[in-house]
Structure formats: structure tokens, C-alpha cells
Amino acid sequence: MDILGGLANGFAVAFQPLNLLWCFVGVLLGTLVGIMPGLGPPATIAMLLPLTFKMSPAGAIIMLAGIYYGAKYGGSTTSILLNMPGESASVVTCLDGYQMARKGRAGPALGISAIASFVAGTFGVLGLMLVAPPLAKLALSFSSPEYFGLMALGLAMVVLLAGRSMVKALLAALVGLWIASIGTDLFSATSRFTFGQVELLSGIDFVVVAIGVFALGEVLGNLETREGVQMLPMPRGLLNLLPTLQDLKDCRFAFANGSVIGFLVGVLPGAGSTIASFLSYGVEKAVSRRREQFGTGVIEGVAAPEGANNSETGGALVPLLTLGIPGSGTTAILLAALVLWGFRPGPLFIPDNPGLFWGLVASMYIGNVMLLVLNLPLVPLFAQVLRTPSYILYPLILGVSMIGVYSTSSSLFDLWLLAGFGLLGYVMRKLDYPAAPLILALALGNDFERALRQSLMMSEGSLSILVTRPISAAMLSLAVLVLLIPAFGRFNAWRLRALEQE
Amino acid sequence: MEGKTRNTGDIASGLALAALGIAVVVQARRWDYLGPDGPGAGFFPLWYGIAMIALSLVVLVSGLRRQSAPAAQWGKSGRALSAWLAFAAAVALSKPIGLLASFALLTFFITAVLYRRPLPVAAAVAAASTLGLYLVFPLLLGMALPVGVLGF
């Protein structure tokens, strides 16, 4: 199926009334989640995942993806009005966005953020549409050693950029691998780490861990304080939200910069939207004629990072859908969602499920338009969400988490596991162990082990198969190089600077 | 050295993860490492268990060395841990009194105790939130939740 044919088919799927509704629900929820500090897209998608089991897979993936990219739009509102990122990808937007708001230009800052998000978000979907099908064809020649190399590289990248301490990030990933190996062995009937519990024979449900570590962990962390937030005045009226022609002219390069950098960074596993927005801001500042004014309320300092973090979404879906390799906590949950609905992301995903892939692509075009329409005139209304009292919000998150987990298995045992993983998520935050490597390793754990063991079966036990095949050798060499980065002072300083932005 | 302390969080987590790594290795050694068809059930856990021990020792040693790196602040954790205990209690009560009733109690506790809202406000928040969840999940989506002696 060619691209235009695929896209036409995709629009036929995405324009079905129910799918349009799910797209709207997704982007609306995403915007709200993005606005609320302390509740991120991974937690929300994990919480809502069990509710999607009764939906059609197309409607479900359209809605969950809507939450994913919608949150990127919403995050800027909090950055600009509160100087506090609604979600981590919007952290760089605080630098100039909040300064613009302090100078009475909150409206144009919010407006340009929505416009840049729309332009770059649409570019990201275009990139996904053009890059994913040929990459999937290329990946058809991959076998177990190549997949092992790819997954090792993906995990290494996440470990590199997930936390200040790479040792802790690696340990988090190893704990994820351990949780993934709980249950019956992939190739034999051996039960591993089940501690005599029948409930553990089929393993620990990914949803339980994801909701526990992300949603409960976040809520417990936020419950440490009782303080509310102080918001800058919100501009009223659509005209006050629109940037001037001069503003748009100033942002021409920022739109292009954010779009391209965001997409390219998104394709790389592990880098994520925070790094994309940070890099894009850095490039914008480096090439600007008024670079000394950055940080004081320069409009392109808002447009570049906001564009990058939206374009990154399209990029991040490329390795997820074509190789089955997620690059972040959120895409790991999307991978788990696809697997739970009975799909197998990888080279055959697009040819086997053209309606689902192209429906998702088309829905992202539609969703970006919806978000622009929602975010320009309605942003003052959305900002009111920030006034929701925490004592209403947090118990509701806990309640939805309990119901979500119970609904997957109808097992009270899983609720106890949820409590346990919630505490683990909280303690990890306190001790600076990043959650993303754990979730990614958990999502990839079984495939990672399967690829390794199948490779060794192919080679009759010789590890040389991993380094004699060019693609797996290249991937594994890159993974080793990535893990050695802390040994090189200059690169490690860059890594730490990038992480400080988070 | 002034201002430099041992990081107790790193020490505790290093010890805990080293213990987990040892347990993984001990268990993995009881399973097949290599069989006639290739690697057995113990192959993969053995290697990540060894890696876990090695890396947790790095964390442990860095925690033991006096350093100026900021350690975790546990001063505000009382509220979070109280909330977690309340959540665990709600899980325990889900079977005898039902999931929605235990959620109502959890909400009441968080609102009244952790946020110090007046009792009538806390009761109203708990009732409204529970009603909201009931309308969405059991009623609208037809989900079956644990029902206790109270019948809901």
C-alpha cells in the first residue's frame, strides 16, 4: 500500500464518528493532564489502559496517543503561567515563557506555544508517515541477534539519559528485568521467582507495575506538601492570545528547528522530549541575533522547545511501531497496550494492520487540529484546572488506579501488588532512581531474554553470533559506547547539563 | 569534612539491591544454565543477578564515602507514608466492605487528616468522589467491583 493510499484508508478509519470522539477525548484529557503539574502522560495512560480493553483497538490507540501528544500542548500553559512545568518536556518553556507572562505577554506566549506545537506536531506525524514504512521493510531482515542488539541499545540510551546516576539507572533497569522474569519461563515449564504464589505463575501484569510506579508514586510524592499554586493573571479574549505578525516572523526558524530536531531526537530511543526541547532551545539561542536576550522573555525561546517536544512524539512512534522498541516510559506503556490488545509491534505491524497504523497517523493530523482549536480560545478555561484542589484530585487518581488494576484481573492480590509498587515508585523518586529504565526493561524484558536465548540457540551456545553479524555488532558497540560515556569527562558534563534541565 | 555526610539512602538501597541480587543468583543457580536446546531458565537471571550485585556495591560504596552530594530529604515523607498506609488499609478493606466504600474512607482520610479540611467538607468530597466513580465504572462501563457487607 502506498503512502497516499494508506493515508486515505487511515482517514476513513479516523473519521469514523466513534474514533473522532476517542481522538477528542484523548487530546482533551492529554491537555488537562499536561496542565496539571505532578500528573504525567505515563501515569494517565497507565491508569486508563485497563478501561480500553472493551474499546476497539483503533479507538483505543487513537485515544491513548491523543493523551500522549495532547499533554505536550497542555504542559506549556503551566510553564508560562506558573513557572512550573506541567510535564517534564515543557521545562525549557519556563525560561522565556514565564518571563513573557511577567511582562504581560502571557497571551502571545500561550498562543505561539499552541501554534508551534501544531506546526511541529504535524511535521512529526508527516515524518512518522514517511519514515516508518521503509524502516519496517528494512527491519524485516532482522533476526534475534539484531533485535537483541537493538533492545540493548534502546535500554542503554534510556539509562544514559534517565537520571543523574547511570549506576542507579542501570539498577532500575535490572530490577525491571527481574520483575519481567517473574512467572513461568519462556521456553520451559520452570516457574521463576513465584515464591509459591499461584497468582505469580503468569507473571506480574505490566499495568500493575506501571500504575504503581508512575501514578501512585507521583501522587505520594505530591502529597508531601499541602501548598497550592500561585498563577499569573490569565489573558482574556482570543485576540489577546494571538501573537503579532512580528512574533510569527521572529519564530520562523524556531518552527523549523523545533520540528526537525524534535523528530530526529524522537527517533532515537531514550532521548525523549525533554532533551529534544533542550537541544532545540540551545540551537535557537546559538543562531539567534539576540541570543543575549534569551531567558528574559524571547518569543522564539518558547516556540522552539514547544515545537520540538511535539514533533518528538511522531519520531518516538517510529521505533515503537516498526521495531517494537519503545524509547521512553510512555511509549513502553503504549507498547504494552498494543500487546495486550493482541498486536505485535515490529516490522510486520504496518503490513499486517494497515488500518490501525494509518488510522493512528490520520488521527494524529486530526488531533493536532483539534488541539490548536482547543488550545487557542479555550486555554483560559483549561488553566482553571490548576485551581482544582489537590484533596479532590489525588484521591480520585488513587481510586481510578485501584479500579483500573482490579478490572484487569479481578484479583485483590493485584491491588496489594499495586500498593507495593506504589511505595517502590515513591522510594525510587526519593532516592533518585529513575522509573523510566525500570518500566522500559519490564516492557522489553521477555523479548530481550527471548532474543538472547534464541540467538544462542542459533549459534549453539556461542556468544560470537552477537558480534559477528554487522547490525547486532554495530548496535552492541553503540550500546557499550553509550554506557561508557560517564568515563569521558566532557560527554558526561554534557549529559549532566542535559539532565539538569529536567 | 564540614558539610559532607554519608548518604544513608544510598547505603540502604545498595544493601537492599545487593540482597536482591544475591537472592536472584542463588535462585538462578538452581535452574538449568545450559541445556541441549540452548540456554536454560537460569541463564538470563544469573547474569543480571551478578550485574545487580556489582552495581549495588558501587551504590553502597558511594553512599559510605563522605560526600557533599545531596541525600534524599525524608522530613516531609510522613504525609506521603501516611497516605500510603491509608491506601494499603483501603486495599485491605476492599474485600470486607467493598472497593467503593473503602475508597470513600481513603478520600475522607486524605481530605480531613492530610489536608485538614473541615469534617463536613471531607465527607462531602468523599461522597461526591465515590458517587462519581460509581457512576462512571460500575454503572456506565458495567465493571464489577468487589462488593462488601454493605452491598456496594
Residue B83 within a domain: yes
Instruction: Grade residue A1 by pLDDT with cuts at 50, 70 and 90.
Output: low
Residues in chain B: 152
Range of lowest pLDDT (A272-286, A407-421, B14-28): A272-286
SS3 content of chain A, % helix, strand, coil (to 5): 75, 0, 20
The mean of the pLDDT values for chain A is: 86
For residue B104, give Cα distances in angstroms to A222, A397, A430, B133: 20, 13, 28, 10
Cα–Cα distance for residue pair A396/B111, rounded to 1 Å: 11
A397: chain B residues, CB-CB within 8 Å:
none
**What is the arithmetic mean of pLDDT over A110-131?**
92
Is residue B150 a part of any domain in this protein?
Answer: no
The answer as to whether B1 is a domain residue is: no
- Expressed as residue numbers, the domain containing B92 is 77-140
Closest partner residue to B99 among A406, A419, A449, by Cβ? Answer: A406
Partner residues linked to A183 by β-bridges: A192
Report whether A258 contacts A305 (CB < 8 A).
yes
Determine the Cα–Cα distance for residues B152 and A67; give it in Å rounded to an integer. Answer: 32
B46 shares a domain with B99: no
Residues A358/A7, Cβ–Cβ less than 8 Å = yes
Check if B29 contacts A (Cβ < 8 Å).
no
Using an 8 Å Cβ cutoff, are B138 and B120 in contact? no
A184: DSSP letter? E
Does A412 contact B88 at a Cβ distance shorter than 8 Å?
A: no
Q: Are B83 and B133 found together in one domain?
A: yes
- B59 and B81 assigned to the same domain: no
Are A187 and B37 in contact by the 8 Å Cβ rule? The answer is yes
pLDDT over 90 percentage in chain A = 35
Closest Cα of chain B to A165: distance in Å?
9
* Residues B46-103 pLDDT 10s: 999 999 999 999 999 988 886 655 666 777 789 999 999 999 999 999 999 999 999 9
> Please, are residues A42 and A214 in contact by the beta-carbon 8 Å criterion?
yes
* Residue B4, pLDDT above cutoff 70: no
Angle of the B43-64 helix axis to the A166-180 helix axis, nearest 10:
150
Q: How many CB pairs under 8 A join A and B?
A: 176
Q: How many domains, in total, are found in chain A?
A: 1
With 0-12 / 13-18 / 19 or more C-beta atoms within 10 angstroms meaning exposed / middle / buried, residue A462 is exposed
- Confidence category of residue A494, pLDDT binned at 50, 70, 90: low
Distance in angstroms (rounded) separating the CA atoms of residues B93 and A496: 45
Q: Which of A186-195, A273-282, B13-22, B137-146 has the highest mean pLDDT?
A: B13-22
Nearest 5°: CA angle at A270, between A354 and A426?
A: 110
Task: For residue B99, list chain A residues with Cβ-Cβ distance below 8 A.
Answer: 402-403, 406
DSSP state of B110: I
**Range list of β-strands (E), A316-397:** none
Which chain A residue has the Cα nearest residue B107? A395
Contact A264, A314 (CB under 8 A): no
Is 80 exceeded by the pLDDT of residue A341? yes
Q: Does B24 touch chain A (CB under 8 A)?
A: yes
Q: Say whether pLDDT at B23 is over 70.
A: yes
Task: Tell which of A431, A438, A457 to mutate to test the B interface (max B CBs under 10 Å).
Answer: A431
Residue of chain B with shortest Cα separation from A226: B115
| B34 SS3 class | strand
B2 found inside a domain:
no
Cβ partners under 8 Å of residue A405, min gap 6: A50, A205, A207, A208, A211, A414, A415, A417, A418
Pairing of strands B34-35, B38-39: antiparallel
DSSP A230-257: --PPPP-SGGGGSPPHHHHHHTHHHHHH
Which stretch of A221-235, A256-270, A286-300, B106-120 has the lowest confidence by average pLDDT? A221-235
Residue B143 is nearest to which of A407, A423, A456, comparing CB atoms?
A407
CB contacts of A431 in chain B (<8 Å) are 9-10, 13, 72
Residue B34 pLDDT exceeds 80: yes
The answer to whether B20 contacts chain A (CB < 8 Å) is: yes
Q: Are B52 and B102 contained in the same domain?
A: no
pLDDT in tens, A424-473: 999 998 998 988 889 888 988 888 999 999 999 998 888 899 999 999 99
Please tell me which residue of chain B has the smallest CA distance to A219: B80
B149 inside domain: no
Q: Which helix (H) or strand (E) holds A183?
A: strand A183-184
User: Residues 47 to 106 of B: which have CB under 8 A from any A CB?
Assistant: 48-49, 51-52, 55-56, 58-59, 62, 72-74, 76-77, 79-81, 83-84, 87-88, 90-91, 94-95, 99, 103, 106
Residue range A399-416: average pLDDT?
89
Please name the residues in contact with A74: beta carbons below 8 A apart, sequence gap of 6 or more.
A30, A31, A32, A33, A34, A35, A86, A87, A375, A382
pLDDT of residue B1: 41
> What pLDDT is stored for residue A40 in this prediction?
72
Contact in structure between A180 and A442 (CB atoms under 8 Å): yes
Of A192, A392, A410, the CB nearest to B41: A192
What's this model's pTM, rounded to 2 decimal places?
A: 0.81
* Min distance B2 CA to chain A CA atoms (Å): 23
Cβ of B111 within 8 Å of Cβ of A398? The answer is: no
Instruction: Give the pLDDT confidence score for residue A85 in this predicted structure.
Output: 67
The parent domain of residue A213 ranges over 3-500
Helices assigned H by DSSP within B1-152: 8-28, 43-64, 77-97, 99-109, 119-134
Nearest partner of A313 among A299, A330, A292, A336, judged by Cα: A330
Taking the CB of residue B146, how many other CB atoms lie within 10 A of it?
A: 19
| Residues B98 and B121 occupy one common structural domain | yes
Residues B133 and B88 in one domain: yes
* Domain co-membership, B55 together with B99: no
Q: Given an 8 Å threshold on Cβ–Cβ distance, is B110 in contact with A407?
A: no
Count the domains in chain B.
2
| Closest to A41 in 3D by CA, of A59, A68, A60 | A68
Q: How many Å apart are CA A479 and CA A152, to the nearest integer?
A: 6
Which site among A170, A402, A433 would you substitute to test the B interface, given the most B Cβ atoms closer than 10 Å to its Cβ? A402
What's the rounded Cα separation, in Å, for the pair A435 and A210? 9
DSSP state, residue A216: I
Instruction: Calculate the alpha carbon distances from A333 to A211, A270, A285, A360 in Å.
Output: 10, 14, 34, 16
Cβ of A398 within 8 Å of Cβ of B133? The answer is no
Q: Which of A171, A398, A406 sits opposite B52 (nearest CB)?
A: A171
Mean pLDDT value of segment A236-259: 85
Strand stretches in A377-472, DSSP E: none
A457–chain B nearest CA distance, Å: 5
Confidence at B2, pLDDT banded by 50, 70, 90:
very low
Mutate to test the interface with B, among A53, A171, A187, A417 (most CBs of B within 10 A): A171
